[in-house]
Amino acid sequence: MARCCPDPLVPPHSRLAQNQFDSIDLSDNEIRKVECMAVLPRLKMLLLCNNRVSRIADRLGAAFPNLETLVLTNNALSALKELEPLAALPTITSLSLVDNPVSLRLNGADDGLLFTRSRLRGHHKPPPEPTFLHSTCLGNA
């Protein structure tokens, strides 16, 4: 994960521009909008747990063309319309919306959501048990 800097002499934004990460953990910040800072074709996993995300940028798919996992656990996404930009992520296979107000609208219960690729395409199957990754974001690991 990109939580700590491997080389303190190189600023984090320089490493982002050099596309050195396949996963980035931006959990436990005050992020309100998921937007493109740089084009990161290597990025496969983005963790944004415990923020204040209520908006997602329209061009996210162009910035993260190979993103497979997006974890938005415990944020402020409240309307289905706010999720529309996620359709532009061509390779997404896992999306966590656990503990977001929008999860009430999607499944009628307050247990949150963990989507797999089949659910993202409209085939509604029960979500799998939370993985270690999702348990970590929820503080249960």
State pTM to two decimals: 0.70
User: What is the distance in angstroms between the CA of the first residue and the CA of the last residue of the chain?
Assistant: 17
Helices (H) and strands (E) in the chain, counts: 5, 7
Tokens 């199957």 correspond to: 125
The pLDDT value recorded for residue 72 is 95
The pLDDT value recorded for residue 110 is 44
The stretches in the chain having pLDDT less than 70 are: 1-18, 106-141
Rounded distance, CA 112 to CA 131, Å? Answer: 14
The pLDDT value recorded for residue 122 is 45
The pLDDT value recorded for residue 116 is 53
Fold of 12-138: 3.80.10
